[in-house]
Structures are given as C-alpha cells and as structure tokens.
Amino acid sequence: MTESKIPAYNDGYNENGSDGIEEASDGYRFRKLSGRLMPPYVTPLRYAQSRDVQMRDSDISFCSFPKSGSTWLSQILLLLINGGANPDKGTLRQHMIWMEASWPFPKSLDVVDSMESPRLFKSHMPIEMALGGGPAKQAGKFIYIARNPKDVCVSYFHFETEKAWAGNFNCSWDHWFERFISGQVQRGSWFDHVVGWQREIPSNLLLLTYEDLLLKFDNTVVKIAEFLGIKLTKKMLRQIEKNSSFDRMRASEFANMHEVEQLGSFYRKGKIGSWKEHFSVSQNDRMDQLISEHLHHVAFDFTYETD
C-alpha cells in the first residue's frame, strides 16, 4: 500500500495535469465528466478504470452522494468482515478501493485484480456512472447510503469551503445553498443521485440511510450482516458499535483521516438536524418544495430532526 501523505490537492499529481479542470467565477473548481461536475481528482483515466473493473461475488461496494455517512459505513463494513476489530495494519482509507479517485491511495486495475477477497470498494458516483456499470450489471454486493438533503447540504458546505480540491474557494452559506439545490456542486445534483440509485433495486443492492444508522444502529447493522451473509454475534455487534462510534473514529489513528491534512475537521457533528443552524425559513421552504417534487416516490424515509 502507498504510504505517502497528500498534504493538499495538487493538479500535478493527476495523470492529466490540469486538463479539463474548470473554475467558476466564484472560484469553485471542478472537472466535468459526462456532463456532471466532479472533483478534479476524479480524472478521466481513473473514471475509465472504475467502469472497467470486474467485480467478484465476494466484493462489497458502497456508494453515496458526498457527506452521507459513507466513511462511517466503510468502518462498519470493515469491522463486519474482520470479526468486529480493526485490521492490525494500515488505515481505514487504505483498506478501501476508491477506483474513481487519483488520491490518496490510487489503485490500478492490475493491482485491484490481484487483491485478496473480500475487496471493499468505495464510490460517490451517480448510478449512470457507477463502478463497473452498477449492481444490475455486476456480481458482488452493493450498498447505497443516503442522508437527508438538508444535513448533506450543510455538511458539504463545511467540507468544500477553503479546500484545495475545490479551488480553495470561500463562499457564503447562501451562495452554497443555491449551488447545491441547482446541482452545481461536485458529483452533481443530490436529487438525481438519490433518485437514480433507487430507480432499479436488484437483489444485490441494499439501500440504507444515515439516519437509520444513528437511530436504529443494531437493526441496521443486523440488516447489513444478513445482506452480506455474515454471521453476527451479540458480542461482535457491541464491538462494532464501539469501534465505529463518532468519538472513537475521530480519535483513532486508524480512522481519523489524517492522510489528508485538510480533512482536520472531517468528523464535524455526526448528528441529525445541524441544518437548523444554517437554513433560513425561505431556504427551508424551497428545500421542502424540492423534496416534495422529487422524493415522493423514493424508497428512502429521511428523518430531519430529533427531539
């Protein structure tokens, strides 16, 4: 595994240099692939490789729109396949295969082909651009995790502000809100992403929500284990709960994400409802309107606030 640290996003690190990277008038940087805004580190080469990967029956892939709890899910999956404990070597990121990204631990198709089973794949792609063409076309198990769009919008605002991979841009909350609801953020429209992934639900695709993990942890982990065919004991479940807790992940060398220095505040709140600290009444009305227009037929049942 590559041990190098990537202190900041650097165009020169990518195979294609800065080709195809665009900068909007507000300073937001992105690369367009298949008409969608992507982070610059999703290079055409990495994206092509991600489409060509051949999945095995034993592979586990998880996907989400950014800031939807995918890192938490990755930790739970790793604990599930490892008997409840973290592996002795490496970090959480190093145990994930992130085919579409050129950092921090890029892997070529040859390397991925030679890896032992079970392999754990991470992705943030919309269904039309999914790893290997998506669950309907591939072997292995796929999990898609979604989170309510209000909290995603806020979490993403903090994640993208003053980050090199987004051009170190710095905008107001109001400006970000407009970008988010019009799909002008890296990975495109949250609504398209979430609606697209549940349009067809083959038997090798499990849909989850971040809120389910927070509010019904045991049931949700049992559901994941059953889906993956993993025997889960009560002791393992308690170990998984402990080792995947927000505080434990934030504090542990294994999961703290310090490979990318700019991710210092990666574990920000880990709660439902932090949108209330940012949304104005009219922004909330507009988001509710979009939710009722786009989500009336989706399989997800989001929770927006807790008592």
Q: Which of the residues 124, 158, 193, 278 is marked catalytic?
A: 124
Which of 175, 268 has the CB closer to ligand PPS?
Answer: 268
Output the six-digit token pair for 162. 């003053």
Rounded-to-10 torsion of CA 198, 204, 210, 213: 140
Closest distance to ligand PPS from the beta carbon of 76 (Å): 9
Closest separation in Å from C-beta 100 to ligand PPS: 12
Whichever of 59 and 151 has its CB closer to ligand PPS, that residue is 151
- Say whether 124 is catalytic: yes
**What backbone torsions phi and psi does residue 181 show, to the nearest 5 degrees?**
-70, -15
Q: Containing H/E element for 238?
A: helix 234-243
Would you say 127 and 29 are in contact if contact means Cβ atoms under 8 Å apart?
Answer: no
- Considering the complex, state which of residue 48 and residue 215 has its C-beta at the smaller distance from ligand PPS: 215
Which lies closer to ligand PPS via its Cβ, residue 47 or residue 210? 210
Write down the least CB distance from residue 114 to ligand PPS, Å. Answer: 26
Residue 8, CB-side half-sphere exposure with 13 Å CA sphere? 8
Q: What is the CA radius of gyration of the chain?
A: 18
We find the least distance from the C-beta atom of residue 64 to ligand PPS, in angstroms, to be 5
Cα four-point dihedral sign 216, 191, 65, 270: negative
Dihedral through CA 128, CA 130, CA 132, CA 133, nearest 10? -20
Closest CB 245 distance from ligand PPS, rounded Å:
6
The DSSP result for 154-207, as a single string, is: HHHHHHHTT-GGGTS----HHHHHHHHHTT-STT--HHHHHHHHTSS--TTEEE
**Dist CA 95 CA 100 (whole Å):** 15
CB closer to ligand PPS out of 101 and 181: 101
Instruction: Give how far the C-alpha of residue 189 lies from the chain's centroid of Cα atoms, to the nearest Å.
Output: 14
Question: How near is the Cβ of 232 to ligand PPS at its closest, in Å?
Answer: 18
Helices 190-197 & 281-294 angle (0-180, nearest 10): 30
- The nearer residue to ligand PPS, 151 or 212, going by C-beta atoms, is 151
Alpha-carbon dihedral angle through residues 124, 130, 134, 138, given to the nearest 10 degrees:
-100
Residues lying near ligand PPS in the complex (CB under 6 A): 64, 66-72, 151, 155, 158-159, 244-246, 249, 267-270, 274
Q: Which residues are catalytic?
A: 124
